[in-house]
Structure 1
């Protein structure tokens, strides 16, 4: 089985306004260790290239193309050279055109995949647009992979004509996210790191802002883009964009770290954010808003604290001691190292690729 992959996504080199970067890096790096050679094609848009947080890696070839249709068509034609062709969701530049051009260019016999890093949003788009490009292409693709979502997502994709839909969940890359010494500048009672997004605003207001307002004597930290003009209680310190290289310190320094799911992710369940594994990998005491399927990844009250609302978050901050927080964080670290690393996700993905190759050979 040959193992060359053309991967068309948002960005491998920059996590700036690109929450999928850690996921892409973890999966592609782990697949490289299994013998896969990946070329990642990313457009030069949204100032991501000006805000790179890694250099071009030795475990993938990266092609950055201009944000023009002409450049897009040129790199899409290169899909014909590869054994596996992947179009990811949320590239952020001419997504429908990339899908059509790339899949049309794929050579006969190539494995053609749509890799959805935001399945709830993609499915909502397709429900509202009968002529959606992905709806047209799904019956011709070999499989859909998603980084989250349980049976509702699988059933929805199959209902749209997907031959197969398999979740390949977020995970931990222990080489990049791990415990480090705490830094005084990030010391606080609770930290939340996440870009401001329309379908997370209300949940952040409930689980973070309300909790901070209920505890005026406690120190809260807010990191991420888009919060500069949002009113916050006086005990909240805004950091703005936090580069990936500082995430370990931000996770290791507070007494607790908060995860707040987007509305669509919470509704669909089984969609742990990258931050969940980053925090657990650093040994942080993680508090998350409640969503279906959390116990598949971390055990509530032992490896993670689950809050129903802002009052619950405030009670955790008020009552959980540093010693208790440390025990929970260490338990989470042990769990993710044992069951939720990108090496394990890559093993799953490799098996999917091999099974497809075997079916193709049997059909010849």
Structure 2
């Protein structure tokens, strides 16, 4: 099929998790024989931090504003499917333009579903508004579980489907590198995650001054007082993520408050670390046990003491066994190839539904 994607970014992974998600998903989608055009708003903060200028699996083009987007009106109209992502600048106007222009299936890909719904509750329609949702043939969500039924029943989506994040095993794999940290955390700063980072990493670092810790990611305020044994790294490019996880005895997963409330909202770092064989210590939320088995494939922590107990009490062989078990699970269920197959199935089902509805509207019945 011909697929047009309007997403936050494909060209730059700086300060967002969208780019790596799109890269893995669309790379495998192209491998399945599909033609892809990715349209990205040209903004200075990504233009100055681009780490993928010319992907070999799709066409990547930039538009400067809504008027400039009209240059691709023909491609959008002729596409078999058009997918708009969350956090696209002026996303409401972009979504409306797509729904008015596209003749094929339209999809909204929400990489931030709990954030979107929390924004709705506040009357904040930054990149999506409720009245647009019934106009998308399928709502693809980073969050599964009960949230999908809510999107259908309360917001009027014709079909809400989980399309979780994923990782590419060709990139994320175990590496033999020297250990640098006992516990690491890789994530962009967010105000609602920082208290958990403080509790599960910084407090553990203060309790274990002989251990080594690391927090990597951009946008952390300069007034945070990091313990002396916590190394700060401003940005780790995606190509260096496997080395980062390989250098970590354990890595931490911290989830945003809205995603904890919704449940069933895995972060990409879960799957990236798992495929690298790095054992994960995670905060706790509904649905996590459906993705990895606690105690065997992942470790759960509610308190600083839980983290300290893991770092002090789990032998290296046991830690490696946990990491390897998670890797086996991730390779079976959470690869980019698996997600590309799911995307293909969801779009094809939406095409069938759209075709059936059109026939019904014309008074036809299918044999």
Of 227-236 and 259-268, the range deviating more from structure 2: 227-236
> Which residue does 2:140 correspond to in 1?
145
| 1:7/1:41 contact within 8 Å kept | yes
Equivalent in 252, 276, 280 of residue 258 of structure 1: 252
The aligned counterpart of 1:164 is: 159
Kindly indicate whether the alpha-carbon contact (under 8 Å) linking 1:222 and 1:239 is maintained by their aligned counterparts in 2.
yes
Q: Counterparts of 1:131 and 1:319 in 2: how far apart (Å)?
A: 47
TM-score by length of 1: 0.92
- Whether contact under 8 Å (2:183, 2:201) holds in the other structure is no
Tell me what 1:218 maps to.
211
Whether the 8 Å CA contact 2:250–2:278 is kept in 1: the answer is: yes
Which residue number corresponds to residue 227 of structure 1? Answer: 220
Q: 1:10 pairs with 4, 8, 24, which one?
A: 8
Post-superposition CA distance 1:280-323 (Å, at most 9, x none): 01010111111111121111111111111222112211212222
Residue 201 of structure 1 is aligned with which of 194, 200, 214?
194
92, 106, 109: which one pairs with 1:115? 109
Alignment of 1:296-315 (within 5 A): 296-315=290-309
Separation in 2, partners of 1:271, 1:154: 15
From 100, 103, 114, the equivalent of 1:104 is 100
User: Following the alignment from structure 1 to structure 2, what is the Cα–Cα distance between the partners of residues 238 and 136?
Assistant: 43
1:45 aligns with 43
Q: Is the 8 A contact 1:147 1:169 kept in 2?
A: yes
Structure 1 residues 21 and 130, CA gap change in structure 2 (3 angstroms): closer
SS at match of 2:83: strand
Q: Tell me how far apart the structure 2 counterparts of residues 76 and 200 of structure 1 sit (CA, whole Å).
A: 40
Q: Offset at 1:183?
A: 4.4
User: Quick check: 242-251 or 15-24, which moved more?
Assistant: 15-24
Of residues 332-341 and 131-140 in structure 1, the stretch that sits farther from structure 2 once superposed is 131-140
Q: What SS class does the counterpart of residue 47 from structure 1 fall into? A: helix
Q: Which residue of 1 aligns with 2:91?
A: 95
Question: What does 1:17-32 align with in structure 2 at a 5 Å threshold?
Answer: 17-32=15-30
Q: Measure how far apart 1:152 and its partner are.
A: 2.8
- Preserved CA contact (<8 Å) 2:181 2:247: yes
- The RMSD of aligned alpha carbons is 1.9
2:348 paired with 1:354 = yes
Rounded to whole Å, the distance in 2 between the matches of 1:17 and 1:158 is 33
Distance 1:232 1:322 in 2: 27
2:332 aligns with 338
In the TM superposition, what whole-angstrom CA distance separates every residue of 1:189-224 from its partner, at most 9, and x where no partner exists? 111010101221222222222222221111101100
Flag structure 2 segments of 5+ consecutive residues without an equivalent.
360-367
In the alignment, structure 1 residue 178 sits paired with structure 2 residue 173? yes
Deviation at 1:76, TM superposition (A): 5.5
Mapped partners of 1:142, 1:153: distance in 2: 14
Number of matched pairs: 356
2:260·2:286 contact (CA, 8 Å) conserved in 1? yes
Structure 1 residues 39-70: Cα deviation after superposition (integer angstroms, max 9, x where no partner): 1111122521222223422211111222x343
Specify which of 220, 239, 243 is matched with residue 237 of structure 2: 243
User: What are the Cα deviations for residues 304-358 of structure 1, in whole angstroms up to 9, with x where unaligned?
Assistant: 1111122211221121222221111111111111222121122222222222223
2:364 maps to none
Cα separation, 1, equivalents of 2:287 and 2:37: 33
- Report the counterpart of residue 279 of structure 1 in structure 2: 273
Equivalent-residue separation in structure 2 for 1:86 and 1:51 (angstroms): 24
- For the 8 Å contact 1:225–1:241, the answer to whether it is kept is yes
Structure 1 range deviating more: 47-56 or 161-170: 47-56
* Corresponding position: 1:56 with 2:37: no
**Structure 1 unaligned regions, length at least 5:** none
The CA deviation at 1:227 is 2.5
1:79 aligns with 76
